[in-house]
Amino acid sequence: MKATNRLRILGTAAVLTLSGALPLTASTQAGASPWSGSVYLTGHAHCFSPTDRVAWVYVKDSDGEQGWASHTSGLGQSTYGFQFTRIPGGSTTATVTWGCSLGSYMTSFGLARPTVGGSASRNVCPSAVLPCT
């Protein structure tokens, strides 16, 4: 390749990079993508009693995506996770419903695509009075 052609290619790449049309580095920052509706929701679901166990966790959003979340079963709380694949560009309302042997509970909250990464975390509790950590 001639030196003048190399300079033209480098010059074009520099102009595109400075204008923002060509990124300086790869934009796979922890899986974040502005056009992807994929969000992994995770957190702890708490029972009212510290000796109770979480039996199930169900997650849905206001746009109709829903399903059973994976979860671990521990005394008083469970770690849950659910992969949304169609979170809209703005936000949606997510509802987490979970069942313990002493009762079932439900809470809703806003969920948006993260600006960095591909996950969001939300701990849910049966009562606003109890600490939710």
Question: Cβ(124)–Cβ(76) under 8 Å?
Answer: no
In sequence order, what are the beta bridge partners of 66? 60
∠ CA(5), CA(7), CA(13), 5° rounding?
A: 105
Enumerate the H helices of the chain as residue ranges: 3-19
Rounded to whole angstroms, how far apart are CA atoms 124 and 128? 9
| Per-residue pLDDT reduced to its tens digit, 79-91 | 999 999 988 887 8
The pLDDT, as a whole number, for residue 126 is 87
| Per-residue pLDDT reduced to its tens digit, 57-82 | 999 999 899 999 999 977 888 999 99
Rounded to whole angstroms, how far apart are CA atoms 30 and 27? 9
Quick one: what percent of the chain has pLDDT higher than 70?
A: 70
The pLDDT, as a whole number, for residue 70 is 96
pLDDT band of residue 130 (cuts 50, 70, 90) is: low
More confident residue, 123 or 29: 123
∠ CA(100), CA(108), CA(104), 5° rounding?
A: 15
Query: Scanning the structure block, which residue is given the tokens 């997510």?
Result: 94
Is residue 99's pLDDT more than 50?
yes
Query: Scanning the structure block, which residue is given the tokens 């701990």?
Result: 123
Which of 8-17, 111-120, 124-133 has the highest mean predicted lDDT (pLDDT)?
A: 111-120
The pLDDT, as a whole number, for residue 94 is 95
Residue ranges of the domains in the chain?
1-28, 32-121
Name residues whose C-beta falls within 8 Å of residue 126's C-beta, 6 or more positions apart in sequence: 46, 47, 48, 100, 103, 105
| CATH architecture for residues 32-121 | Sandwich (2.60)
The pLDDT, as a whole number, for residue 87 is 85
DSSP 3-state assignment of 120? Answer: strand
Query: Scanning the structure block, which residue is given the tokens 């419903």?
Result: 97
The model carries a pTM of: 0.71
